[in-house]
Amino acid sequence: MRATTSNYPVNFCPSPISSLPAPHPSRHLNFPIHRTQHPLPRLLGFSNSRQFGKGQRLYEQRSLRLNYGAIDGGTAAILTSCSAPSPSVWDDGPYEVLPSGKRAYLDEEDVVTFLDPPKELIPLDPTSYNPAAYLWKKIGEIPEERRHRLLSLLKPRLISRAWEIAGTKYEDPKLAKKSASTLLSNGDGVNLLEFWNCRTSGGPAPIAWINFFNKALFCCKDGKQYGRLYGGSLLAGFSSSFPLYFVVRQLTEVMSTEQPCDLAYEFGDGLLNLHDYPKGFPKPAKHPWPFSDQVVIYIRHVGPGVLVGQAWQEGETLEQIPKKLCGEILMVRDHALLGRNK
């Protein structure tokens, strides 16, 4: 069981409390001054003293002191674990029980805190570490069945921030080769489907109303990967008539900005010649506007089972100036539907 914060405000004291059980000698606990502040790392997810040492190189703590004897009115801070005991007492994923009774899992909060660090944490020289590598690591520490929580935890500006941070991974050749999905990386899963839940960071018309939607990915016998968008508040109404199929292509650059990327979803004219699509999927049809106007979604791998994209309306005519179709798009693989047969 790993330690986590108390459900009540915690007072700081030097910790000469003989009645409290002695903690692990190498473990330091961080307690926020007030529970309405961001949970502090562990706060950036440092689950043991060795990891915490790494964290100190990323951030300096100005206004908070570290001590392990934090108490509230003589009552020891409540320590809670969300799973059964494991070989190491620090291996379990902790959570905080909120006043509403809901659980706030700290692994997910680590990602939020890294993308939006509180004022108490001062970023050090970003050249001393790779932000994309750290973000990938923190996402990987979230159990896959809980990663969908990122869709509600990451506010629109943090989705855009995730796109920016993912751009630093191209400075590390090994990290740049990592893929969020086996299906996308090699196309071996010819008979498998992947379903993803998506959220945009908003943006101008014409599709600002599509805040939440779904995506399916599949491979065909021709060795290529394809997909379609569906669901969402308004997409659901015409998803059968306009299934919004796209082809997945390996691409290294966003055409309009020359920024690096990993993949591109090209919608084309509707992929009318696509015949090898999953059973139960609608027949391809010509895209409605604006998807008929050479829409491309550029993709960056952010972490295991997590992608972030930018949608561009590039236009059918050479004279047309490309424009962003919406804000950045966060995509999280649906664990409940993972590995379904095509």
Cα separations in angstroms, 119 against 6, 113, 114? 21, 11, 12
Same domain, 180 and 49: no
Query: Does the pLDDT at position 247 exceed 50?
Result: yes
Domain boundary among 129, 162, 194: 129
Residue 111 confidence (pLDDT): 94
Helices (H), the chain: 49-58, 106-115, 131-140, 150-153, 156-166, 173-176, 182-186, 235-238
Task: Name the β-bridge partners of 335.
Answer: none
Query: Does the pLDDT at position 172 exceed 50?
Result: yes
What pLDDT band is residue 10 in, cutting at 50, 70 and 90?
very low
CA distance 249 to 262: 9
What average pLDDT score do residues 79-89 get?
Answer: 38
Same domain, 183 and 272: yes
Q: Which domain holds residue 118?
A: 1-129
Same domain, 194 and 317: yes
Same domain, 262 and 333: yes
Percent of the chain with pLDDT over 70: 63
Same domain, 75 and 208: no
Q: Is residue 120 part of a domain?
A: yes
Same domain, 122 and 21: yes
CA distance 45 to 52: 8
Residue 342 confidence (pLDDT): 57
Q: Is residue 134 part of a domain?
A: no
Q: Is residue 67 part of a domain?
A: yes
Q: Is residue 308 part of a domain?
A: yes
Same domain, 232 and 308: yes
CA distance 271 to 286: 8
Query: Does the pLDDT at position 264 exceed 80?
Result: yes
Q: Is residue 41 part of a domain?
A: yes
Residue 106 confidence (pLDDT): 84
Q: Is residue 6 part of a domain?
A: yes
At 273-325, the pLDDT tens digits run: 888 888 889 999 998 888 888 899 999 999 999 999 999 998 777 778 888 88
Structure tokens at 98: 């909120």
Residue 166 confidence (pLDDT): 97
What average pLDDT score do residues 222-250 get?
Answer: 80
Same domain, 184 and 97: no
What pLDDT band is residue 46 in, cutting at 50, 70 and 90?
very low
The number of folded domains in the chain is 2
Q: Is residue 231 part of a domain?
A: yes
Same domain, 221 and 335: yes
Structure tokens at 116: 């939006």
Mean pLDDT of the chain, nearest integer: 73
The lowest-confidence range among 205-209, 268-272, 279-283 is 205-209
Q: Is residue 260 part of a domain?
A: yes
Helix (H, G, I), strand (E, B) or coil at 99: coil
Same domain, 182 and 315: yes
Same domain, 182 and 116: no
Domain boundary among 109, 129, 149: 129
Same domain, 2 and 62: yes
Q: How many residues does the chain have?
A: 342
What pLDDT band is residue 240 in, cutting at 50, 70 and 90?
low
Residue 123 confidence (pLDDT): 62
